[in-house]
Homo-oligomer: A and B are copies of this chain.
């Protein structure tokens, strides 16, 4: 235990903790997907907003292509990203969850290749958005929290209790 604490004490958050923070949110989003009835996942909307499955595509696109971009330095374009986000390749909840799990593995694999000093490197994500790596990763996490919360409103307005926000296990 001692070496872990000593290393951690110098950091606000370690790379391993940030990964777990991210994947903890992704575990909660996965439960949010599961909570939707199959049909409403792909069709239901409040206030003219996108169905939750389309928001999930956006999350997966940003996360998977984003972490790959950070690690490889090779970025798909925003146009390609928009295409990934806009389309719903998955047509069933099961397919969508399978894609989700693939992205989970991709994030873990890419993260293992990330060097601690990279978090303050300036990048041009998707050849479009400039910023430091840590801020970009936080942005993708925040974007997921944001759209998942909109999914919570969809669920509530369908009379379905969303998963507990505090549970990231």
Contacts and interface: CB of A to CB of B under 8 A. Distances in A.
A5 B9 CA distance: 20
| 10 shortest interchain CB distances as A-B pairs | A47-B156, A47-B157, A149-B149, A153-B153, A146-B149, A145-B145, A8-B120, A12-B119, A13-B134, A9-B117
Number of copies: 2
Given A47-B156, A142-B145, 4 more contacts: A11-B120, A148-B149, A149-B150, A150-B153
A163 interface: no
Nearest to A12: B119
A11 B149 contact: no
Contacts of A21: 135, 138
